[in-house]
Amino acid sequence: AAEAAAAHRASAVSAVLQQYGALQVASGSAAGIADAALGMIGGSGVCDTFYVYDLGEVARLHATWLDTMPRVAPFYAVKCNPEPGMVAMLNALGAGFDCASVQELKCAAAHNVPQDRVIFANPCKRPADFRYARENGVEYTTFDCVSELEKIAAGYPAFKCVLRIRCDDADAKINLGLKYGADLSDVPMLLGMARHLGLQVVGVSFHVGSGCQNVGVYADAIAAAREAFDMAASYGFNMELLDIGGGFTAPYDEPSARLFYQTAGVINGALAACFPEGCGVRIIAEPGRYFAETSATLFTTILGQRASCGADGQGFRDYWLSDGTYGSFRIQVAVDGLEPSYSVLRSPLLPPPTAEEDCSLLACRLWGNSDRDGDVVHKAALLPALRDGDWLMFPYAGAYTICAASNYGGVCFTQPLKVFVYSSEALRDLGGFDLPAAAAAAAAAGLDVAAAAAAAAAGVGGSCGSMSDDTGSC
């Protein structure tokens, strides 16, 4: 049975790679991604923002997760990056999905995800959400206050309700505790109200905050969840689900690997103590950043430039990019105040840079592509002299980037081109995996990234990262 399941998974993955025209690259490293981008620029002459999605990285991270936290089933938080190629890949791998809206539920439905692999993890639902849930038999949802319980009772009492409690890391990159999550002291009152309304409470969830830094908070949260479970049992509820939320960072360098493996160790230990194996509780998590961050690389081109002088009399260079804080950098830079990492990709369509252009680094300001003074992607980058048409490559650009892009100024931040790649080494954990015929042919013919980009742009599986259509594809 295990072999049959593995074979089924391998063929599902293979089908996704074919559907999205994913190209095999030598390695999923920055060099492999840069090669794919050069093929894209050189082949199709693209001169605007685009993304390279590494579906092999998605598979690698999924395998790493299962190896590291075998008791915790990952439910990808679609809001982090609703890219259909990522959703399709994770579905093929057997992951579940955390959906926060009807559009995201439709996205899961469009990929035929069964309801037991979906959680509607929005503790404040709209009337339309209840309509959709009623008509489509959505099973699990979260709540954290009396008014939500009343809405559930009136709108769709068949929901299996999961109580979201508050336990957050104050140092997380994105805090979520002020808005959602019940204090433990309010849990008896909420359980009493749920009982009174005739609802079924089946589990407990929490979210420690995205980009959690203090790993011990997971142990506190799991212990608090245990307390809530025991209280719920005393109210006669049949508790079956523990949802440990998000907050995970993928292991991609030494500090992030240390953080991820420490987090996993804390979680495994706390689960063994509070929810030991065989206790009959299904354990899930809602990782978003973990899967998305390193799976996409953003490429912006230099649209213009000028020499400038600071108040201190020091010269520096201004560059205007093809994306900005109204686009992909809206959350990371404009809201969270983080500085993105970047590297240079010389355009293959321009002459090679002169030694002078290449050698010394200049202080630069990177402007986004809008009219606003505040639209600064980086205040103090250090770069060699760039020509208009050269490129900047932003790695780790998959999480909370394109999903938050606006269409301010009509520059279509929301619909950049995209291309899909994978490296076979990333798929080794699938066992018995064969290269899909299309990718093998592409590999034999050289890296035909332009054709794959054209296929992606033509809408294979949806051509944009926006959630604006209502066809069920996201």
Amino acid, single-letter form, for residue 32: G
Min CB(142)–ligand PLP separation in Å: 7
Does position 80 interact with ligand PLP (CB under 6 A)? The reply is: yes
Q: By Cβ distance, which residue is nearest to ligand PLP?
A: 246
Contact with ligand PLP (CB under 6 A): which of 35, 83, 104, 286?
Answer: 286
Contact with ligand PLP (CB under 6 A): which of 54, 98, 129, 323?
Answer: 98
Does position 295 interact with ligand PLP (CB under 6 A)? The reply is: no
Distances (CA, A) of 33 to 99, 116, 343, 350, 449: 29, 35, 12, 20, 11
**How far, in Å, CA of 295 to CA of 86, rounded?**
9
> Which of residues 176 and 383 has its CB atom nearest to ligand PLP in the complex?
176
Q: Which of 413, 338, 326 is nearest to 378 (CA)?
A: 338
Residues in the chain: 474
Min CB(291)–ligand PLP separation in Å: 8
Min CB(308)–ligand PLP separation in Å: 36
> Which of residues 244 and 381 has its CB atom nearest to ligand PLP in the complex?
244
Q: Going residue by residue from 36 to 55, which x/- string records binding to ligand PLP, judged by CB under 6 A?
A: --------------------
> Which of residues 53 and 206 has its CB atom nearest to ligand PLP in the complex?
206
Contact with ligand PLP (CB under 6 A): which of 36, 52, 77, 426?
Answer: 77
306 DSSP β-pair partners: 318
Alpha helices in 341-436 (DSSP H): 355-359
Active site residue 286: yes
Question: Which residues 6+ apart lie within 8 Å of 134 measured at CB?
Answer: 155, 156, 158
**How far, in Å, CA of 87 to CA of 96, rounded?**
10
**How far, in Å, CA of 324 to CA of 394, rounded?**
12
51 DSSP β-pair partners: 298, 418
Size of the site for ligand PLP (CB under 6 A): 16
Span near ligand PLP by CB under 6 A; candidates 125-133, 284-292, 359-367, 438-446:
284-292
Min CB(51)–ligand PLP separation in Å: 18
> Which of residues 83 and 98 has its CB atom nearest to ligand PLP in the complex?
98
User: From the centroid of its chain, how far is CA 268?
Assistant: 23
Amino acid, single-letter form, for residue 216: G
Span near ligand PLP by CB under 6 A; candidates 42-50, 244-252, 338-346, 419-427:
244-252
Contact with ligand PLP (CB under 6 A): which of 32, 287, 324, 416?
Answer: 287
Q: Which of 181, 77, 83 is nearest to 120 (CA)?
A: 77
Q: Report the site for ligand PLP in 116-155 (rule: CB under 6 A).
A: 121
Amino acid, single-letter form, for residue 414: T
**CA-CA-CA-CA torsion for 261, 267, 272, 273, nearest 10 degrees?**
130
**Contact residues for ligand PLP (CB under 6 A)?**
77, 80, 98, 121, 176, 207, 210, 245-248, 286-290
Task: Supply the residues annotated as catalytic.
Answer: 79, 207, 286
